[in-house]
Amino acid sequence: MTAHEIDYEIFGEEMQYVEIELDPQEAVVAEAGSFMMMDDGITMNTIFGDGSNQEKGILGKLFSAGKRILTGESLFMTSFLNNASFGVRKISFASPYPGKIIPIDLTEFRGKFICQKDAFLCAAKGVTVGIEFSKKLGRGLFGGEGFIMQKLEGDGMAFVHAGGTMARKQLAPGEILRVDTGCIVGFTQDVDYDIEFVGGIKNTLFGGEGMFFATLKGPGVVYIQSLPFSRLAGRVLASVPRGKGEGSVLGSIGDLLDGDNSF
């Protein structure tokens, strides 16, 4: 194996975190902001690029960092190394919002898994976090994820996050699954991903579900989330009060009595 071999355990139900066991000189890489806690003896190091062993020289590292910019991520990732002379050390990473953490064993998927740009949480050192370009114009323009998705490559463990409840679908050859474009977490490399127009004037203008479906054609495995972050953020934003009297019949009068008489 080129990636470090790690053990793990996932805790929690709605707000999960993954605890990873590191033997001496084993390491894990993670996105900034996902760290939760770690044992003494683990050293943290900010690295340029995706932290894979495939980076060679300054040009290789610049190319790796450039790929991360295209996916909307930071130039840097964080590496955590068990630097103790003996004994297992544990480190934990938390999910960014309510949902499920999905362990991805890349050896089960022939070394490659494609996921949405903000799904990646952490991975064993040696897993490459790259980009997957869409070769179809319609998918790039209307597929929700644009022309670029993330791809995880290697022979180690990686962890991605799904919002809400996660569904795992095993598609047979030729089997088609239609999904809201924002609800896709990721899929294996043999799955054919495209978009499909919903159709119908009433559906398009008044259906409230958008103009396009994502179509996923087997064979392969697909992970679906019930609560995309964009949907969660939209609901929260719509519920933010715009004034002290929001929701009150005497809203404006209440603001005046409260001392808020600004115009």
- State pLDDT tens for residues 155-211: 999 999 999 999 999 999 999 999 988 899 999 999 998 888 765 455 455 444 556
Alpha helices, H only, the chain: 57-70, 137-142, 201-206, 229-239, 251-257
Position with higher pLDDT, 60 vs 6: 6
User: Amino acid letter at 112?
Assistant: K
CB atoms within 10 A of CB 222: 22
Q: What pLDDT is recorded for position 257?
A: 44
The pLDDT assigned to 197 comes to 74
Report whether pLDDT(262) > 50. no
Mean pLDDT over 23-43 rounds to: 93
Mean pLDDT calculated for residue range 97-118 = 93
pLDDT value at residue 37: 97
- What integer pLDDT is reported at residue 147 of this predicted model? 53
Check whether 17 has a pLDDT greater than 90.
yes
Task: Kindly report the pTM of this predicted structure.
Answer: 0.79
Res. 255: pLDDT tops 60? no
pLDDT, averaged across the chain: 79
Strands 27-30, 17-22: pairing kind: unpaired
Maximum mean pLDDT: which of 19-28, 111-120, 123-132, 227-236? 19-28
> Looking at the predicted structure, is the pLDDT value of residue 23 above 90?
yes
Look at residues 174, 218, 176, 214 and name the one whose alpha carbon lies nearest to residue 197: 214
Domains and CATH numbers, the chain: 7-235 (3.60.160.10)
Of 152, 107, 118, residue with least CA distance to 132: 152
- The model's pLDDT over 133-152, given as tens digits with 9 standing for 90+, comes to 765 545 445 545 545 788 99
Tens of pLDDT, residue by residue over 91-107, are: 999 998 899 999 999 99
What is residue 40's predicted lDDT score, i.e. its pLDDT? 95
Distance of alpha carbon 5 from alpha carbon 9, whole angstroms: 14
**Residue 215 or 59, more confident:** 215
Q: What is the pLDDT of residue 153?
A: 93
pLDDT of 80: 95
Looking at the chain, the whole-number percentage of residues with pLDDT higher than 70 is 70
Contact 114, 143 (CB under 8 A): no
